[in-house]
Structure 1
Amino acid sequence: MAIRTTSPVTGEVLKSFDELTADQLEDKLARAATAAESYRLTTVDQRAEWLGRAADHLEKEADSVSELITTEMGKTYRAAQEEVAKSVHGLRFYAAEGPAYLKDLPADASRVGAKKTYVTYQPIGPVLAVMPWNLPLWQAMRFAAPALTAGNVGLLKHASNVPQTALYMEQLFRDAGFPDDVFQTLLISSGRVEQVLRDERVKAATLTGSEPAGKSVGTIAGSEIKRVVLELGGSDPFIVMPSTNLERATDVAVLARTLNNGQSCINGKRFFVHADIYDAFVASFAAKMGALVVGDPMDESTDVGPLATESGRGDVAAYVDDALGKGAKALVGGKRPEGAGWFYPPTVLTDITPDMNMYHEEVFGPVAQVFRVTSLQQALELANGHPYGLGSNLWSEDEAERQMFIRDVESGMAFINGHTTSYPEIPFGGVKRSGYGRELSDLGMKEFMNAKTVWIGPDAPA
């Protein structure tokens, strides 16, 4: 795939970039290895200071960075501003909490015959991050902030359609005072990821992307005995029970399905609604989805912008056409619009059956599948029948239902009376084919650290 910025609004190529040559890539890897040797010796307080400066720089440049994100991948300018603000918060969070996260963990020395024993956390070196286009700044930042706090060096292989955001991140950390080569962007094709990951100077990898990409990177990392964190697809269930506030649930259902123009792994995608409130929910949900304004993402009145890529829009349309051809009903949307750009309308589908392709896959666009259920048990059985297990949502005021949901839903995250989202304060990640490992919080930072056990024996007799 060519490395270039292409407007999702018009389809026009705005800027192209040359891929790194073999010599240029080798130079970057060599410099990353050299930087790792000195950067690991810096104090966590010094790293925190640089992170704080990066947050300040990003905050000052928020308007231009937001416009860049919108230009490259088509999310609304308002959503891009929120992404920048979230990235600023992530930087400041690790600047504040990183020193405490990295303190040695003491153990009971007397139980192991020692004078002193503890676990100390140490960086492992250069880490490769293979990142997606849908949250081009935040997704990469939630790797970069904890990795740099830990004393690791970052190598960012970003999606080929957001190269300017990727290059901006490298410049941001340099301007903030981080030593040269501690964070580098690699403008390379996906076909060269294996070469980088197999390089002995690269110690680990993290990937957010498709299931096929995760299988490939996981296989390579396993063969090299290198750590990897995989955050892959999601088809999150959104379960609505009779005890909930229906107006609030439908409002959030619209947000959960159309957030980021419907292009997020943690969007609510499958809506399981109890029969007692099904008709009322569907009527309200469809009306609110149909009222959303689709258009220029830079326009303040726009609710949903274009999809990021032409192929992505084609995939969404194919899923919907297949479902409609097999008996699904579109309460709103369901037709690819004419004209320039990669737009697709908010769509609500019912009567979804297992013979439809979307039943088993992830639809990466503003398309909601709504199912009628007669109990929470049935909703959970349907939710858990999907191969993905990233996030999940329950809308209920019943404590027994909440506890059953937390216990039985097969997902890495369970949100009650709110849509799934990411916070630097809490772990993020999935189970089943949604991947393994965790991002964010202290767990995400320690995924790429050596938890070194230290045992110090008793003093020798005088």
Structure 2
Amino acid sequence: MNLISSINPTTGKTIKQFKPYSEEQINTGLKKANAAFHEWKELDVSERGEVLNGVSKLLRERKQDLGELITQEMGKVIKQSVGEIVKCADTIDYFAAHAEELMHPEQIETDASESMVSYEPMGPVLAIKPWNFPFWQVLSAASHILAAGNVMLLKHSSYVPMCALKMEELFLEAGVTEGVFQTLLIDGPTASSLISKNEIKAVSFTGGDAAGKKVAELAARNMKKFVLELGGSDPFIVLSDADVEKAASVAVPSRCINTGQTCIAAKRFIVAQEVAEEFTNKFVELTEKLRLGDPMDKNTDIGPLVREEQITMLEQQVKDATSKGAKVLVPGGRVNSEGFFYSPTVLADATPDMKVMAEETFGPIAPIITVKDEQEAIQIANKTRFGLGASIWTEDREKGKLLARQLETGMVAVNAFFRPEACMPFGGVKGSGMGREMAKHGFYEFINLKSIKIY
């Protein structure tokens, strides 16, 4: 049985190892979840909200320590790690405050004397989540899944076992009934096998599209509801009438946030030819000012990647681009030091056939492609199997709104970088997934919408 290793990306050294849960431990967890569900769903919605507020209170009180845990285990720079914890607390509070309103039965006029739609929880939800936002990816989903009266079993990435276990500790300390939120230290195949278990009623998955397709197939075969968020290759479109300096100042951090290991990071920079030179020069200037180093230092902008394999993938993508004619403006690349450091790389003269344009680049690589007009920009932006987020820059807001509707994505920001908010649905189309998280749309994904007619 392979141990689960927590490795510090800054040093490349193992922090701690864990034994995967045994079949007996897993079965015990399933039984606990089932029992806890029947107790948790019977609580008044406001009571569940009060308990969840206790979790958010702990998150805020310990944001520095929890942020340091994130940085230690997956390499995110500390200022972003602490921000992640605060965002989790805000999201939990949002659903704790709005769950009662969202679950209130809706009265409908029909031929019956009384008709309504009743909103009822489904049961235990299996959450399979990635390492890049180790608290946010879990708690953004858990906030509305639990507020609705469901319970959650978490199969977290094997890269972040300490974060996974810490979240379970926080829920228990806050007074959440044992079994409402559980972490299972298991591998991918074991998690897949749980989808067929009677105790599991739905699956929430965030990760790569290949694994997501397998989860969808298993869930469909067992008639289980599922939501998939599968990453993206988000376009950042700069039109000829854009505020170029502002666009470039947002473009660089939106590419390099979390060292580029973000599903909604800007990944393809599509720029009108009239402003391409100005934008590119500013982008290069700002990229070269980024500080790479110790992620525990609050002044660091770029920390390590999570594992050596990420560096290898980025190197292959850059090699493919340069072999097809891309010009290297900022060489970046592998850093000769301990840990898994990769300096930002900027490429010009990108073309749609390059891997950096066709694949998801999970690291600080920025390909820039020049287009003749806005219609070519939209055409290239949509020429991808992904459809998660996008950004459009133009001083004409009405045009921006019109073009936003032409993009084949789940989310668009005009003159900004799209940031998730609890009040807005999060998710994509095409290869970026199915279903939504957050807002009322995500809340109802794991709810039984029961129609009741009384004659």
TM-score greater than 0.5 by the shorter chain: yes
Aligned partner (choices 169, 172, 189) of residue 171 of structure 1:
169
The superposition leaves residues 193-241 of structure 1 with CA deviations (integer Å, 9 ceiling, x where unpaired) of 1211110110000100001110110000010011000000200000011
Note if contact 1:2-1:160 (Cα within 8 Å) is conserved in structure 2: no
In the other structure, the counterpart of 1:143 is: 141
Deviations 1:124-147 (A, max 9, x none): 000000000000001100111101
Offset of residue 359 of structure 1: 2.5
- How far apart are the structure 2 equivalents of 1:169 and 1:337? 33
- Could you report, residue by residue, the CA deviation over 1:235-290 in whole angstroms, capped at 9, with x for unpaired residues? 00000112221121111001110011100000000011111111000000011011
- Which of 206, 209, 218 in structure 2 is aligned with 1:208? 206
55-64 vs 315-324, greater mean Cα deviation: 315-324
What corresponds to 2:313 in structure 1? 315
Corresponding letter in the other structure for 1:233? G
Distance in structure 2 (CA, Å) of the matches to 1:44 and 1:32 = 19
Matches within 5 A, 1:435-450: 435-450=433-448
Cα RMSD of the aligned pairs, angstroms, is 1.1
Q: CA deviation at 1:337?
A: 1.7
Q: What is the match of residue 103 of structure 2? A: 102
Q: Which secondary structure state, in structure 1, belongs to the residue aligned with residue 280 of structure 2? A: helix
Matches within 5 A, 1:250-289: 250-289=248-287
CA contact (8 A) 2:387 2:429 kept: yes
Question: 1:41 corresponds to which residue?
Answer: 42
Report the 3-state secondary structure (helix = DSSP H, G, I; strand = E; otherwise coil) of the residue aligned with 1:16.
Answer: strand
CA contact (8 A) 2:397 2:414 kept: no
Instruction: Give the AA of the match of 1:186.
Output: L
Q: CA deviation at 1:2?
A: 4.5
Q: Is the 8 A contact 1:83 1:138 kept in 2?
A: yes
Determine the C-alpha separation between the residues in 1 that align with 2:261 and 2:331.
17
Letter in 2 for 1:308: V
- Equivalent position of 1:460 in the other structure: none
Displacement after TM superposition at 1:360 (Å): 1.3
TM-score, normalised to structure 1, is: 0.96
> Judging changes above 3 Å, is the alpha-carbon distance between structure 1 residues 317 and 148 closer, same or farther for their aligned structure 2 residues?
same
Offset of residue 327 of structure 1: 2.0
After the TM superposition, which of the residue ranges 393-402 and 165-174 deviates more from structure 2? 393-402
Deviations 1:405-434 (A, max 9, x none): 122100001111111221111100000000
- Paired residues of 1:86 and 1:138 also in contact (CA < 8 A): yes
Task: Call closer, same or farther: CA 1:410–1:66 in 2, change over 3 Å.
Answer: same
Counterpart code for 1:265: C
Contact 1:389 1:432 in 2 (8 A): yes
What is the CA-CA distance between 1:339 and the residue it aligns to? 1.8
What is the match of residue 380 of structure 1? Answer: 378
CA distance in 2, matches of 1:27, 1:126: 14
Residue 347 of structure 2 corresponds to 349
Residue 156 in structure 1 maps to residue 154 in structure 2: yes
Give distance in 1, aligned partners of 2:223 and 2:44. 29
TM-aligned CA deviation for residue 354 of structure 1: 3.9
Match status 1:11 vs 2:9: no
Offset at 1:400? 4.4
Q: Which runs of 5+ in 1 are unaligned?
A: 458-462
Secondary structure of the structure 2 residue equivalent to 1:452: strand
Q: TM-score when scaled to structure 2?
A: 0.98
Q: What SS does the corresponding residue of 2:333 show, helix, strand or coil?
A: coil
Residues in 2 aligned to 1:29 and 1:313: alpha-carbon distance in whole angstroms: 37
Mapped contact 1:389–1:434 kept (Cα < 8 A): yes
Answer whether contact 1:376 1:401 (CA < 8 A) is retained.
Answer: no
Residue 438 of structure 1 deviates from its aligned partner by 0.3
Q: Which residue of 1 aligns with 2:399?
A: 401
- AA partner of residue 231 (structure 1): E
Structure 1 residues 125-170: Cα deviation after superposition (integer angstroms, max 9, x where no partner): 0000000000000110011110110000100000001011111111
**Structure-2 separation of matches of 1:298 and 1:218:** 38
Contact 2:148 2:443 in 1 (8 A): yes
Which SS does the other structure have where 1:383 is aligned? helix
Aligned counterparts of 1:26 and 1:19: Cα–Cα separation in 2: 13
Runs of 4+ in 1 over 3 A off after TM superposition: none
Cα distance between partner residues in 2 of 1:137 and 1:400: 37
Q: Distance in 2 between matches of 1:95 and 1:148?
A: 9
| 1:50 and 2:51 aligned | yes
1:290 touches 1:333 (CA, 8 Å); kept in 2?
no
Q: Given the alignment, which residue of 230, 245, 248 partners 1:247? A: 245
**TM superposition shift of 1:445:** 1.3
Deviates more, 1:163-172 or 1:332-341: 332-341
Write the letter of the residue equivalent to 2:62: E
Per-residue deviation, 1:3: 1.7
Would you say the 8 A contact 2:401–2:414 is kept in 1?
Answer: no
Conserved in 2, the CA contact under 8 Å of 1:124 and 1:450? yes
- Alignment partner of 1:170: what SS? helix
Once residues 100 and 160 of structure 1 are traced to their aligned partners in structure 2, the CA distance between those partners, rounded to angstroms, is 37
- The yes-or-no answer on 1:118 pairing with 2:119 is no
Q: How many residues are matched? A: 454
- Deviation per residue, 1:281-322 (Å, 9 max, x gap): 000001101110111100122111001111112111211122
Partner of 2:323: 325
Once the two structures are TM-superposed, the CA of residue 105 in structure 1 deviates from its matched residue by: 1.2
- Answering whether residue 415 of structure 2 is matched by residue 417 of structure 1, we say yes
Contact 2:7 2:13 in 1 (8 A): yes
CA–CA separation in structure 1 for the residues paired with 2:353 and 2:56: 48
Q: Give the distance between the partners of 1:337 and 1:184, measured in 2 at CA.
A: 38
1:118 Cα shift? 0.9
CA distance in 1, matches of 2:377, 2:398: 15
1:62-110 deviations in Å (ceiling 9; x for gaps): 11100000001101000001101101101111111111111111111xx
Contact 2:233–2:357 (CA under 8 A) maintained in structure 1:
no
Equivalent residue, structure 2, for 1:431: 429
Could you give the per-residue CA deviations for residues 326-348 of structure 1, whole angstroms, max 9, x where no partner exists? Answer: 32111113432212111111111
Q: Aligned AA for 2:139?
A: M
One-letter amino acid of the structure 2 residue matched with residue 336 of structure 1: R
Distance in 2 between the 1:54 and 1:255 partners? 30
Query: Counterpart of 2:342 in 1: which secondary structure?
Result: coil
